[in-house]
């Protein structure tokens, strides 16, 4: 099999497996996997900026919340049906990430982390400030009747699973395609040595801005789908811990690998789910797992697999 | 032994230990997870009734969660000692939701699909309830919340979500207005946190005091995460007769201290909600300025002179002394104004299951219909806080409220509202929704 065939085969194979699991999993894990696929899509967006471009953002909850509230407020106050509401949410994420990119990309390194963190916090406080519309910290319910997309009831488990799969497959394949294009290769080059890329005549600023917008828009799509599939929009999705979440997923799964975000989200979700049944210190267990992984597999699960055995993994 | 072989051995020892540790960890995690992967099997009637307890063990609600847990355990112990429900023992399946709506929804899924719980129960914080309720409705899991939020009666949620054990904030606030207007003053300034809980107070109390012929002179919204309040106090108009405060979070101690520094001895009447001082000793250093001020209490923390036999029984069963603290640790003050809701809700579940002759998850709809039909709940061991009236259409209970004055570092009840004081027109009829 050619290199490209092997790569596309692996990723399409994962999507096929996820499709098949829909019919095999018990109800609880079926529901969990739908949630994990949406969270993994969020991490796929994050990975484009952090894993491939080397920009560590601490403010991605802003994009997730932009998508969630763009969609949710469109339905709640604009009376939109789910399809245009989803477009509105994704569009809101694109606009917010463009605006933040234009401002935050004037900085780099630690300053970039702080600026993104501060803007995300400002976004969170904005949600609280406009509590009359957003219901502030309490959030609001998107009723089942408002979640019928083209006649498909998204509150029904198999429809929800399929919608999550469509989102995840689109994000995964988009990121795979992007990284194999010259644009994606330039992002990787920027991550490795930005000075050299600039010296070679590339407009690194424009590439980083492009990565920011793509990353933010994918994260917003995940936010919009999350609200629509699980029927709730709330300010906690715009808070700082929700910005850390995709970073953890990507670090665990393998930064700069296409499958890393999914593996990280899957691993982290079940780690917390299983450990919370045993102890209240479940975040401590998550922390210990992260330390162990950093010690023994610093490149994350997929990164380590690539280093040890499968050098062809994108 | 040569240096080379020594170093080889060291390397082997080291790698074996590392791998061994990892293997042990992996095996341990796998073993621990085994029961969770088992598919749910239909419970037979000899099996216990499983109540999924969504508990705030970590996060901002942890202090409440601790006492909600103790109250729930005490209620279940009593029910099981009395023969359980329909001859079956009650088993609590507790899961921490981290006081987070995302995790809350996941926990509800776990109750319904993993543990095979008969009902979900016990959630306090409004955002967790609102984030979890859609999933409870979709999974057809009766979801009994103990939240005091207006979200149930407002019609935002669904037929599977009920609040039969504690009154909602709209009812509480509305019931305060007659006492405030008649005894403290009609010109009110409100200080409240600038998020949904504070906005509920702002909207409901403003309307209620105007209905009593009073007015709110100024609404002072405090941004979240504010740590000093001095700059807000000059906004309080001079003609203010009553200062109404509902501050939540750890900043309340600073708030009280700075309020004392601002007003000194010539203060207006002060009326507040105990929510901010739940699990806090009212006689704590720094809270002296609250002496002589008034508080809403859902249930009087200090045992009163005319304490009912039911409150005495309930207090002892949960392990709370006459001051409202744990009998084992006087510094561990309870969330007495709210936690009775868990006790009473658990008894409502029992009464509902008995009325519906509940046998298993196929009878969930019958359980909800039985609770909807309850109506009057007389004061009793099951309802030690007082008599209640359940509105089956709005899925919200109505009850008495208490107003207490701080005297010598204790809360003394000066007024008990009628149930009617807290009633308002229906905003929803959940019974029109199908199952």
Domain ranges (residues) in chain B: 49-167+337-399, 170-297+406-411
The parent domain of residue A42 ranges over 31-237
d(CA A150, CA A205): 40
Query: A86-111 b/e with 16+ CB inside 10 Å = b?
Result: bebbbbbbbebbbebbeebbeeeeee
In whole angstroms, give the CA distance from residue B161 to residue B164.
10
Q: Which pLDDT value is given to residue B5?
A: 43
Percent of chain A predicted with pLDDT > 70: 99
Classify burial at B296, counting beta carbons within 10 Å of its beta carbon; exposed 0-12, middle 13-18, buried 19 or more.
Answer: buried
Please state, in angstroms and as integers, the Cα–Cα distance from residue A166 to each residue in A158, A191, B341, following that order: 12, 30, 43
- Residue B148 and residue B337: Cα distance in Å, rounded? 11
A232 strand-pairing partners: A141
Candidate from A58-62, A289-293, B157-161, B239-243 with smallest mean pLDDT: A289-293
Determine the Cα–Cα distance for residues B374 and B306; give it in Å rounded to an integer: 28
Nearest CA in chain A to B196: A136
A99 within a domain of the structure (yes/no): yes
pLDDT of residue B28: 52
In a domain, A275, yes or no: no
**What pLDDT shows up at residue B39?**
38
If we measure between CA atoms, which residue out of B104, B78, B159, B154 comes closest to residue B344? B78
CATH 3.40.50.2300 fits B49-167+337-399, yes or no: yes
CB pairs under 8 A between A and B: 111
Average pLDDT over residues B141-166: 94
In chain A, at which residue ranges do the beta strands (DSSP E only) sit? Answer: 140-141, 148-149, 152-153, 232-233
What is the pLDDT confidence band of residue A170, given thresholds at 50, 70 and 90?
very high
Q: Tens digits of per-residue pLDDT, B82-91?
A: 999 999 999 9
pTM for this prediction: 0.85
The 10s digit of each residue's pLDDT in A239-283 is 999 999 999 999 999 998 999 999 999 999 999 888 887 777 778
**Chain B contact for A131, CB < 8 A?**
yes
Give the residue carrying structure tokens 């520094």: B261
Residue B12 has what pLDDT?
Answer: 40
Q: Do A131 and B109 touch (CB under 8 A)?
A: no
- Average model confidence (pLDDT) across chain A: 92
Confidence of residue B306 (pLDDT cuts 50, 70, 90): very high
Q: Domain total for chain A?
A: 1
Burial environment of residue A290 by CB neighbours within 10 A (0 to 12, 13 to 18, 19 or more): middle
Contact state of A128 with B194 under an 8 Å Cβ cutoff? yes
For strand B242-245 and strand B294-297, is the pairing parallel, antiparallel, or unpaired? unpaired
Residue of A61, A137, A228 for testing the chain B interface, max B β-carbons within 10 Å = A137
Identify residues of B whose CB sits under 8 angstroms from chain A CBs. 18, 22, 25, 29, 32-33, 36-37, 39-40, 57-58, 95-96, 100-102, 105-106, 109-110, 112-114, 126-127, 130-131, 133-135, 137-138, 149, 151, 156-158, 194-197, 199, 223-224
Tell me the per-residue pLDDT of B221-250, one tens digit each, with 9 for 90 and over: 988 778 889 999 999 999 999 999 987 666
- For the segment B249-260, the average pLDDT, to the nearest whole number, is 83
- Apex CA B222: angle with CA B218 and CA B225, to 5°? 175
Structure tokens at A169: 């497959």
B376-389 mean pLDDT? 95
Q: Is residue A152 part of a domain?
A: yes
Mean of pLDDT over chain B: 87
Output b/e per residue, B201-216; b: 16+ Cβ within 10 A.
Answer: bbebbbebbeeeebeb
Radius of gyration of chain A (CA): 19
Looking at beta carbons, which residues of chain B come within 8 Å of A265? none
Q: Rounded to whole angstroms, how far apart are CA atoms A104 and A125?
A: 19
The enclosing H or E element of A240 equals helix A240-253
Q: How far apart are CA B164 and CA B342, in angstroms?
A: 10
Contact between A276 and B96 using a beta-carbon 8 Å cutoff: yes
* Residue-level pLDDT at A245: 92
pLDDT value of residue B40:
40
Structure tokens at A189: 């080059």
To 5 degrees, how large is the angle CA A279–CA A282–CA A285? Answer: 110
Radius of gyration of chain B (CA): 25
Residue of A nearest to B156 (CA): A141
**Would you tell me how many other CB atoms lie within 10 Å of the CB of residue B38?**
9
Strands of A32-97, DSSP E? none
Please, how many CA atoms are within 13 Å of residue B196, restricted to the half-sphere of its CB?
Answer: 19
Residues forming beta bridges with residue A141, ordered by sequence position: A232
Q: How many CB atoms lie within 10 A of CB A44?
A: 32
Question: For A11-52, how does the pLDDT look when each residue is reduced to its tens digit (9 = 90+)?
Answer: 999 999 999 999 999 999 999 999 999 999 999 999 999 999
Q: Span B329-344, mean pLDDT? A: 94
Least confident of A39-48, A305-314, B210-219, B403-412: A305-314
Measure the CA–CA gap between B176 and B276, rounded to whole angstroms: 17
Alpha carbon distance B174, B207 (integer Å): 8
Q: Report the largest interatomic distance among the alpha carbons of chain B, rounded to a whole angstrom.
A: 97
Residue carrying structure tokens 């497996």: A17
Q: How much helix, strand and coil, in percent to the nearest 5, is found in chain B?
A: 45, 20, 40
DSSP track, B9-70:
HHHHHHHHHHHHHHHHHHHHHHHHHHHHHSPP-PPPTTSPEEEEEEE--SSTTHHHHHHHHH
> What is the second-level CATH architecture of the domain B170-297+406-411?
3-Layer(aba) Sandwich (3.40)
Probe site for chain B from A25, A28, A161, A222 (most B CB atoms < 10 A): A28
Q: Comparing B49-167+337-399 with B170-297+406-411, is the CATH topology the same? A: yes
Q: β-pairing, A152-153 with A148-149?
A: antiparallel
Q: Taking a C-beta distance cutoff of 8 angstroms, is the pair B110, B95 a contact?
A: yes
3-class secondary structure, A152 = strand
Q: How far is A48 from chain B (nearest CA, A)?
A: 25
Q: Is A10 a member of any domain?
A: no
d(CA B149, CA B249): 17
Q: How confident is the model at residue A298 (pLDDT cuts 50, 70, 90)?
A: confident
Asked whether residue B31 carries a pLDDT value surpassing 70, the answer given is no
- Has residue A148 got a pLDDT over 70? yes
CA B137/CA A214 separation, integer angstroms? 35
Q: Which of B255, B259, B272, B192 is nearest to B224 (CA)?
A: B192
Calpha distance A140→A231 (Å, rounded): 9
**In a domain? residue A125:** yes
């Amino acid at each position: 099999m050619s290199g490209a065939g092997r790569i596309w085969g692996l990723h399409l194979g994962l999507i096929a497996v996820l499709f098949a699991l829909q019919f095999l999993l018990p109800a609880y894990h079926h529901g969990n996997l739908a949630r994990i696929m949406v969270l993994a899509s969020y991490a796929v967006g994050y990975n484009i900026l952090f894993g491939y471009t080397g920009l560590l953002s601490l403010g991605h909850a802003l994009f997730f919340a932009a998508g969630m509230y763009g969609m949710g407020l469109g339905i709640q106050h604009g009376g939109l049906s789910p399809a245009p509401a989803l477009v509105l949410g994704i569009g809101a994420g694109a606009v917010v990430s463009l605006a933040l990119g234009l401002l935050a990309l004037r900085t780099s390194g630690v300053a970039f982390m702080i600026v993104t963190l501060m803007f995300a916090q400002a976004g969170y406080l904005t949600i609280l400030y406009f509590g009359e519309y957003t219901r502030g910290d309490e959030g609001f319910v998107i009723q089942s009747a408002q979640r019928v997309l083209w006649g498909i009831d998204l509150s029904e488990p198999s429809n929800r699973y399929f919608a999550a799969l469509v989102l995840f497959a689109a994000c995964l394949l988009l990121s795979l395609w992007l990284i194999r294009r010259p644009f994606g290769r330039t992002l990787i080059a920027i991550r490795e040595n930005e000075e050299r890329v600039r010296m070679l005549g590339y407009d690194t600023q424009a590439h980083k801005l492009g990565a920011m917008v793509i990353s933010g828009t994918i994260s917003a799509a995940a936010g919009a789908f999350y609200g629509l599939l699980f029927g709730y929009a709330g300010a906690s999705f715009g808070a700082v811990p929700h910005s850390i979440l995709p970073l953890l997923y990507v670090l665990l799964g393998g930064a700069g690998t296409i499958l890393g975000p999914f593996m990280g989200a899957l691993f982290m979700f079940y780690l917390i789910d299983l450990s919370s049944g045993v102890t209240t210190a479940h975040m401590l267990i998550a922390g210990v797992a992260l330390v162990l992984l950093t010690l023994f597999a610093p490149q994350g699960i997929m990164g380590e697999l690539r280093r040890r055995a499968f050098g062809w993994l994108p | 032994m040569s240096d080379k072989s020594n170093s080889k051995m060291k390397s082997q020892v080291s790698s074996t230990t590392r791998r061994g540790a990892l293997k042990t960890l992996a095996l341990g995690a796998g073993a621990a997870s085994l029961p969770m992967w088992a598919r749910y099997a239909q419970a037979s009637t000899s099996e216990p009734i499983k109540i999924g307890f969504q508990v705030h063990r970590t996060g901002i609600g942890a202090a409440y969660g601790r006492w909600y847990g103790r109250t729930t355990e005490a209620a279940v112990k009593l029910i099981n000692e009395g023969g359980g429900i329909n001859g079956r023992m009650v088993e609590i399946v507790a899961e921490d939701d981290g006081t987070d709506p995302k995790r809350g929804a996941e926990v509800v899924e776990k109750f319904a699909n993993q543990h095979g719980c008969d009902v979900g129960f016990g959630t306090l914080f409004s955002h967790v309830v609102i984030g979890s309720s859609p999933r409870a409705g979709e999974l057809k899991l009766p979801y009994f919340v103990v939240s005091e939020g207006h979200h149930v009666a407002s019609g935002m949620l669904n037929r599977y979500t009920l609040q039969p054990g504690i009154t909602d904030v709209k009812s509480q606030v509305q019931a305060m207005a007659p006492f405030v207007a008649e005894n403290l003053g009609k010109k009110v300034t409100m200080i409240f946190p600038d998020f949904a809980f504070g906005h509920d107070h702002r909207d409901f109390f403003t309307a209620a005091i105007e209905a009593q012929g009073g007015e709110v002179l100024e609404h002072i919204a405090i941004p979240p995460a504010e740590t000093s309040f001095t700059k807000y106090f000059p906004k309080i108009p001079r003609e203010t007769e009553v200062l109404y405060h509902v501050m939540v979070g750890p900043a309340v101690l600073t708030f009280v201290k700075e309020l004392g520094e601002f007003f000194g001895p010539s203060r207006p009447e002060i009326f507040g909600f105990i929510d901010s001082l739940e699990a806090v000793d009212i006689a704590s250093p720094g809270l002296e300025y609250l002496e002589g001020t008034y508080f809403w209490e859902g249930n009087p923390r200090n045992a009163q002179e005319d304490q009912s036999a039911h409150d005495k029984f309930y207090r002892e069963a949960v392990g709370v002394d006459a001051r409202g603290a744990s009998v084992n640790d006087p510094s561990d003050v309870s969330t007495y104004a709210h936690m009775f809701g868990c006790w009473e809700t658990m008894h409502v579940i029992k009464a509902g299951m008995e009325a519906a002759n509940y046998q298993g998850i196929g009878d969930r709809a019958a359980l909800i219909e039985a609770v909807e039909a309850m109506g009057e709940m007389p004061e009793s061991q099951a309802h030690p806080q007082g008599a209640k009236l359940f509105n089956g259409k709005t899925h919200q209970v109505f009850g008495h409220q208490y107003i207490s004055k701080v005297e010598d570092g204790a809360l003394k009840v000066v007024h008990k509202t009628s149930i009617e004081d807290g009633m308002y027109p229906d905003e929803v009829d959940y019974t029109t929704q199908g199952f």
